[in-house]
């Protein structure tokens, strides 16, 4: 199964809670009125598009309906798809690889979002493209995190730099960068602790890692990738806001898209935070993390009902 089909399949629950409900709404209406707009807004909120984003989309929809003199309610769904495409942008997700190797990626996120697994899949993706990848186990708070990352490194066949449990995370990051340089790696991916995002000491720890990396290699980390769990819906937006303020997120990896009816959070992330979504995870397989392509997402979300 190609990735587009896997993406379409993974959005099944979101399609049921979002697109199919829109279908039901517009197919039972002949005209477009304010009640219909309010019901559309409610459907989007329930799919975790978020109140702010839902209101913005409905306002854009109103303007487009007026400008194009649309009268048939059945025409609203393709218009909404068009507006969601525009909101998501046109550029596919991708790490901005540095001209000076290695590109350093610091991965952050709370425990339970699939951060370490995402790192393993990300390493696999870039190794498959011929890149030399090294992992840094700077989540020294949990021994299980180090062990899990080591399992991934062994599975993929790449190097891992680790210290003992409880070691200084910034020291692990520093040693990882030294190793990546010495071994002429193209990409260094550093795991970090994921204790509660409300804890200021975690944010200070992440800032320290960033300072140590930048001091040794000005400009590093080149990317700060935040891993979010799509099943948490609007809570993911709250997490992203806090991490963005503390450590300057450059991109997002959205996991567990296949297990949620809250896929509308993809639209909310882009609209409310203006942080690019680089990758989406749509399953448990090693190759189920792929670059996010906005047009493909909109097509996969809407396609099923359009082709029936």
Domain count of the chain? 2
Spatial CA neighbour of 289 closest among 152, 185, 183, 143: 152
Which residue has better confidence, 263 or 195?
263
Does 129 lie in the same domain as 177? yes
Residue 30 neighbours by CB under 8 Å, 6+ apart: 72, 73
b/e per residue 155-172 (b: at least 16 CB within 10 A): ebebbbbbbeeebebbeb
CA angle 264, 223, 199 (to 5 degrees): 70
Indicate if 181 and 267 belong to the same structural domain: yes
Separation of alpha carbons 24 and 92, rounded Å: 31
**Span 253-297, pLDDT tens digits:** 999 888 888 888 899 888 888 889 999 998 888 989 989 999 999
The token duo for 219 is 């400009």
pLDDT number for residue 1: 54
| Tens digit of each residue's pLDDT (9 = 90 or more) over 55-110 | 999 999 999 999 999 999 989 999 999 999 999 988 887 888 766 789 999 999 99
Q: Is residue 242 part of a domain?
A: yes
Q: Which domain holds residue 287?
A: 103-292
Which among 287, 254, 257, 289 has a CA at the least distance from the CA of 273? 254
In percent, the amount of the chain with pLDDT more than 90 equals: 57
pLDDT score of 8 more than 50 = yes
In a domain, 97, yes or no: no
Cα 95–Cα 101–Cα 106 angle in degrees, nearest 5: 50
Only one residue has tokens 């700077």, namely 138
> Which residues are bridge partners to 103 per DSSP?
187
Check residue 104 and give its pLDDT. Answer: 97
- Full 3-state SS string of 85-145: HHHHCCCCCCCCCCCCCCEEEEEECCCCCCHHHHHHHHHHHHHHCCCCEEEEECCCCCHHH
Residue 87 · residue 57 · CB < 8 Å:
yes
pLDDT at position 46 is 87
Check residue 199 and give its pLDDT. 60
| pLDDT reported for residue 308 | 36
Answer whether residue 5 shows pLDDT above 90: no
Q: CA-to-CA distance for 167 and 141, rounded, in angstroms?
A: 8
Q: How confident is the model at residue 234 (pLDDT cuts 50, 70, 90)?
A: confident
Judge if 87 and 151 occupy the same domain. Answer: no
Say whether both 185 and 241 belong to one domain.
yes
What confidence tens digit (pLDDT) does each residue in 24-62 have? 988 888 789 999 999 999 999 988 898 999 999 999 999
Model confidence band, residue 164 (pLDDT cutoffs 50, 70, 90): very high
Q: Model pTM?
A: 0.91
**pLDDT score recorded for residue 246:** 84
> Are 178 and 273 found together in one domain?
yes
Judge if 110 and 36 occupy the same domain: no
pLDDT at 132 over 90: yes
Contacts of 303 (CB under 8 A, 6+ apart): 8
CATH code of the domain in which 126 resides: 3.40.50.300
- Report residue 305's pLDDT band, with 50, 70 and 90 as the boundaries: very low
Distance between the two ends of the chain, CA-based, in angstroms?
Answer: 20
The Cα diameter of the chain in Å comes to: 68
Q: Whole-angstrom Cα distance, residue 132 to residue 123? A: 9
Q: In whole numbers, what is the pLDDT of the chain averaged over residues?
A: 90
Whether residue 68 lies inside any domain: the answer is: yes
Residues 116 and 264 in one domain: yes
One domain for residues 273 and 227: yes
Q: Do 148 and 247 belong together in one domain?
A: yes
Higher-pLDDT residue of 195 and 17 is 17
Predicted pLDDT at 98: 67
DSSP-derived 3-state class of residue 82: helix
Using CA atoms, how far apart are residues 160 and 167, in angstroms rounded to an integer?
A: 15
């Amino acid at each position: 199964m190609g990735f587009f089909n896997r993406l379409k399949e993974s959005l099944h629950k979101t399609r049921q809670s979002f697109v199919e409900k829109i279908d039901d709404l517009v197919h039972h209406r002949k005209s477009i009125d304010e009640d219909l707009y309010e019901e559309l807004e409610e459907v989007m909120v329930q799919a975790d598009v978020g109140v702010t984003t839902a209101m913005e989309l409905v306002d854009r929809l109103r303007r487009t309906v007026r400008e194009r003199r649309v009268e048939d309610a059945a025409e609203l769904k393709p218009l909404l798809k068009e507006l969601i495409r525009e909101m998501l942008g046109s550029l596919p997700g991708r790490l901005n690889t540095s001209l000076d190797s290695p590109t350093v990626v610091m991965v952050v996120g709370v425990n339970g979002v699939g951060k370490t697994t995402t790192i393993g899949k990300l390493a696999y993706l870039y190794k498959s493209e011929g890149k030399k990848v090294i992992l840094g186990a700077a989540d020294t708070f949990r021994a299980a995190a180090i062990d899990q990352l080591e399992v991934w490194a062994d599975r993929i066949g790449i190097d891992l730099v680790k210290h003992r449990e409880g070691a200084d995370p910034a020291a692990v990051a520093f040693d990882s960068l030294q190793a990546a340089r010495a071994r002429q790696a193209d990409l260094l991916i550093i795991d970090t602790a994921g204790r509660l995002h409300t804890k200021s000491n975690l944010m200070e720890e992440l800032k320290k890692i960033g300072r140590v990396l930048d001091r040794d290699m000005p400009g590093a980390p080149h990317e700060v990738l935040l891993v979010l769990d799509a099943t948490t819906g609007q809570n993911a937006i709250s997490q992203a806001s806090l991490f963005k303020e503390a450590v300057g997120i450059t991109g997002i990896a959205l996991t567990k898209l296949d297990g949620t009816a809250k896929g509308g959070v993809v639209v909310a992330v882009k609209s409310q935070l203006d942080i690019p979504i680089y990758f989406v995870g749509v399953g448990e397989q090693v190759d189920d993390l792929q670059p996010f392509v906005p047009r493909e997402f909109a097509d996969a979300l809407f396609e099923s009902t359009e082709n029936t």
